[in-house]
Amino acid sequence: MTSDMAGTRTLLTGAANGIGLRTAREIVARGGAVAIADIDETAGRAAAAELSEGGGTAVFIPLDVTDDESWGRAIPAALEALGGLTGLVNNAGIEISDLFVDLDPASMRRIFDVNVVGTALGIKHAFRAMRPEGGAGGGGAIVNIASVAATIAFPGIAAYSASKSAVERLTKVAAAESGRLGYGVRVNTVCPGLVPNAMGGQLAVDMERLGLFPSVDAAVGAVVSLTPSGRLATEDDIARGVVFLLSEESAFVNGVTLSVDGAMGM
């Protein structure tokens, strides 16, 4: 499977680093154009510049995913800069670990604002752009990034798990709505396993801090022991799954959850 992305134009949120940036690199390497959308302008501009250096098409667009007006500026900017829009990856997300007995309502609301409201607003504005009467008007594909945490019960991440379960349900409703209204937009979810990047590393540190595991290594070891494939996920693993769902190779794949977790959540 090569998933040729030539002619595709994709906006990725939270793409200044991590899985979002790795996915953007994969799209560009396969011939697609990307808009790096992020709240971190310094890192976002640097990421777009890096991707453009090799002859690829990449632009930076400032975006606060929790702000409807910010989305209202970002999507038209992507349309203009890329000459259209065929895909959206709702990747931006945050994780704050807490035990139930110490749960901070403000932190939980912040998680839901970014992970759930941010994803819902992305779907809203992508639908408006990609439906037949929209600025792009040719249909397309949306990929929402959830988590293996949406499919298992792991201590210390109640708010995050609930938010990612909500992302999975938003996906299915959006796919049904797009189909019923003839938008021509497929909507799917990717549930990554634990990736040893900045967010994954912080999660392991938090597990020790909360007293759930005696050490960071023990927390990581617990995740690996729950994973039949016997290792953590990589950003490459996740990026390839996202690109497949954006590509024409998945033209009849709609409303599904693709677990890229080494069977941890089965």
Statement: residue 17 has pLDDT above 90: yes
Confidence of residue 60 (pLDDT cuts 50, 70, 90): very high
Average of per-residue pLDDT across 12-20: 98
Kindly provide the b/e burial profile for residues 92-105, where b requires at least 16 CB atoms within 10 angstroms of the residue's own CB.
bbbbbbbeeeeeee
Q: Are 163 and 145 in contact (CB under 8 A)?
A: no
3-state secondary structure of 254: coil
Statement: residue 2 has pLDDT above 70: no
Class of residue 125 by CB neighbours under 10 A (exposed 0-12, middle 13-18, buried 19+): buried
Other beta carbons within 10 angstroms of residue 260's beta carbon come to 20
Amino acid at 21: L
Average of per-residue pLDDT across 8-20: 98
Radius of gyration of the chain (CA): 18
Segment 87-103, tens digit of pLDDT: 999 999 999 999 999 99
Catalytic residue list contains 183 = no
Return d(Cα 192, Cα 147) in angstroms, integer: 5
Return d(Cα 165, Cα 168) in angstroms, integer: 5
Mean pLDDT (the chain, rounded):
97
First to last CA, the chain: 24
Return d(Cα 252, Cα 234) in angstroms, integer: 26
Return d(Cα 29, Cα 214) in angstroms, integer: 42
Q: Exactly one of 60, 127, 160, 183 is catalytic; name it.
A: 160
Comparing CA positions, the residue from 171, 60, 82, 86 lying closest to residue 123 is 171
Return d(Cα 207, Cα 218) in angstroms, integer: 9
Average of per-residue pLDDT across 246-260: 97
Statement: residue 1 has pLDDT above 80: no
Comparing CA positions, the residue from 258, 255, 251, 260 lying closest to residue 229 is 260
Statement: residue 79 has pLDDT above 90: yes
Query: What is the predicted pLDDT for the residue at 55?
Result: 87
Segment 205-250, tens digit of pLDDT: 999 999 999 999 999 999 999 999 999 999 999 999 999 999 999 9
Return d(Cα 47, Cα 229) in angstroms, integer: 32
Segment 150-188, tens digit of pLDDT: 999 999 999 999 999 999 999 999 999 999 999 999 999
Query: What is the predicted pLDDT for the residue at 126?
Result: 98
Return d(Cα 102, Cα 203) in angstroms, integer: 17
Confidence of residue 78 (pLDDT cuts 50, 70, 90): very high
Q: Are 130 and 139 in contact (CB under 8 A)?
A: yes
Average of per-residue pLDDT across 100-128: 98
Return d(Cα 199, Cα 203) in angstroms, integer: 6
